[in-house]
Amino acid sequence: MHKIVPRVADKICAELAETFPVVAITGPRQSGKTTLAQTTFPKKQYVSLEDPDVRQAALSDPRGFLSALSDGAIIDEVQRVPELFSYLQGIVDKDRSNGRFILTGSHQFLLDQQISQSLAGRAGYLKLLPLSISETIGGSEEPIDSNEILWRGLYPSTAIHGADPRLWFGAYVQTYLERDVRQLINVRDLSTFQTFLRLCAGRTGSLLDIGALCNEASIDYKTAKNWLSVLEASYVISLLKPYHTNYNKRLVKTPKIYFLDTGLASWLMGVKEPSQLEQHPLRGHLFETLVFSEILKHQYNQGEPSNIFFWRDSHKNEIDFLLDRGLSRLAIEVKSGQTLNASFFAGLDYWKRLDPEHNDETLLVYIGEELLNQSRGHSVANWQNIEKALKL
């Protein structure tokens, strides 16, 4: 039996159920949505629309299907039968009891669309990504191998259940292509899409040059934009937008592309074992990708939307991540080195000089031994302590 890992998001999930008749949990396949729903609401009946017989029953008689769930239920992969949403609206409007239905789905676009059309104001929303580092290591501060984490990723199956990433991600991608991609778009040649997926993995942590991507994948611009939307909607990638300030009107407007799991990106890059990452040319990009996903998980697990940007001016001065907190900002620099040196702080020093009166907070995340400290006027956090640093 698989170990159940306590999730940070269980608190906000329970709070949403006390506020809304419907709670929608969305996120990538195998991120733990079903486990979260069942552990948070253990007394609720569970049905999965991935089961062909259950799905057929819901399709052929949606009213009868839902009437059999009069006490509410956890309905898994609800986007498989979008017809249910309008019927759910009628049921919820007759009985506004909170926390009645818990819906899960792995398609952000389909779920967003259906909720906005049928369940607006009736549903609370939670995005659940794979495990965070703190959830994986369970509060331990023992050093762990960063290459191992980058290679394994943080899906529960590979991070804690012992699945071989070389086999697991192969099956994961095939399932994703066969089920999710074909449900979202009409792709005749899945091999071309898989090539596109691999090319995107090789760009994680980089500015997105769609023109170059089109040339390498032999597809047109419209197709590339469409496919990037699919990857975003199914929680494979996130496109990070630049932060606009008054410091320089010629700021870069191109987004950066990040995979939401380094294990998946590593597998798509052809990395066979953790030791290959030691000298890998994209190791720095993968480490930056890991930090990005950790920040995003921290925000989603609090039920908050993303407020992450990056900043780069025309002179290539850059801040890896900028968190807009309204009255203040947190500038985060990421370095994959193990030894602190002055060059690590150059970007943060420059940022503080731009607007010394704003008093922005600054944070350096790296692989060294400083767990959580101050250096040269900046906070410094070991990569295992990102979540603690973000709470300060």
Question: For residues 140-159, b (16+ Cβ closer than 10 Å) or e, as one string?
Answer: eeeeeebbebbbbbbbbbbb
The string of pLDDT tens digits covering residues 344-383 is: 999 999 999 987 777 789 999 999 877 778 888 899 999 9
Please report which confidence band the pLDDT of residue 110 belongs to, taking 50, 70 and 90 as the band edges: low
The string of pLDDT tens digits covering residues 7-22 is: 999 999 999 999 999 9
pLDDT at residue 247 in the model: 47
Decide if pLDDT at 37 tops 50.
Answer: yes
The string of pLDDT tens digits covering residues 250-307 is: 456 899 999 999 999 999 999 999 999 999 999 999 999 999 999 999 999 999 999 9
Alpha-helical (H) ranges within 23-107 are 33-40, 52-60, 62-67, 84-94
Please report which confidence band the pLDDT of residue 115 belongs to, taking 50, 70 and 90 as the band edges: confident
pLDDT at residue 275 in the model: 96
- Between 141 and 271, whose confidence is greater? 271
Q: Report the pLDDT averaged over residues 336-347.
A: 92
Task: Write out the two tokens for 267.
Answer: 């597998």
Dist CA 63 CA 79 (whole Å): 17
CA distances from 249 to 209, 252, 328 (A): 21, 9, 21
Alpha-helical (H) ranges within the chain are 10-17, 33-40, 52-60, 62-67, 84-94, 108-118, 133-137, 146-152, 156-159, 165-175, 182-184, 190-201, 210-217, 221-233, 262-269, 283-301, 346-354, 386-391
Dist CA 42 CA 23 (whole Å): 15
pLDDT at residue 298 in the model: 96
Please report which confidence band the pLDDT of residue 249 belongs to, taking 50, 70 and 90 as the band edges: very low
CA distances from 328 to 241, 276, 292, 325 (A): 18, 40, 19, 5
pLDDT at residue 391 in the model: 80
Average pLDDT, rounded, for the chain: 91
Decide if pLDDT at 181 tops 70.
Answer: yes
pLDDT at residue 188 in the model: 75
- Between 187 and 12, whose confidence is greater? 12
What secondary structure letter does DSSP report for 303? T
Task: Write out the two tokens for 312.
Answer: 């780069």
Domains of the chain: 10-127 (3.40.50.300), 133-391 (no CATH)
What secondary structure letter does DSSP report for 371? S
- Helix 210-217 vs helix 221-233: angle between axes, to the nearest 10 degrees? 100
Decide if pLDDT at 231 tops 90.
Answer: yes
Q: Tokens 């998001």 appear where?
A: 9
The string of pLDDT tens digits covering residues 74-93 is: 999 998 898 899 899 999 99
- Between 34 and 107, whose confidence is greater? 34
- Annotate 173-218 with DSSP letters as a single string: HHHIIIIIIHHHS--S-HHHHHHHHHHHHTTTTEE--HHHHHHHHT
pLDDT at residue 184 in the model: 77
Dist CA 297 CA 23 (whole Å): 18
Q: CB atoms < 10 A from the CB of 350, how many?
A: 15
pTM here is 0.94
Q: Tokens 């597998």 appear where?
A: 267
Strand partners for 48: 76
Decide if pLDDT at 50 tops 80.
Answer: yes
Dist CA 236 CA 367 (whole Å): 25
Which is nearest to 314 in space by CA: 253, 252, 255? 252
